[in-house]
Amino acid sequence: MKHETLINKRTVYGGGGIMPDVFVPLDTNGITDYYRNLVQKGYLNGFVLEYVDQNRDEILKSHQDFSSFRNHFKINKAIMDEFFEYVKKEDPELEYNDEQYKTSEALFTLRMKAVIAQDIWGYNEFYQIYNDTNEIVMKAVEIIQKGEYDNKLK
């Protein structure tokens, strides 16, 4: 369904939402069934809540502010090993899938770091980390920084 905007007479498309001026395809290559299962069942969030409860003082001692955390905190193998032990205790039937983990590793570590930031600092900080790799957000920032946004509105 076509629609013309009132001021600039631009054509926009609807029918279940507004079609963006710039299409950015979603990259879903890293989303495996294993990743989806662990996130949807709440294991990642549950682990992070326990991890932060046990390590909050250490995290804040190493990273006095969010900027330091964002730039320097890494989800390392030891943390991931703790996570998979947590999952094993929570759901002994769920088998570790190394192939799917390797495919989704970047998503696991990104989401885990973002949820840790959320637990310590808040939702704003979650999105500052999580959107670092969001193709749609990154494309919007690029368009604005290059001054192309005004051209899109004409």
Tens digit of each residue's pLDDT (9 = 90 or more) over 76-106: 999 999 999 999 999 999 999 999 999 999 9
Nearest to 66 by CA among 131, 132, 133, 113: 113
pLDDT higher than 80, residue 71: yes
Average pLDDT of the chain, as a whole number: 90
Separation of alpha carbons 114 and 121, rounded Å: 10
pLDDT at 29: 84
- pTM, full prediction: 0.82
pLDDT at 15: 61
Higher pLDDT, 133 or 41: 41
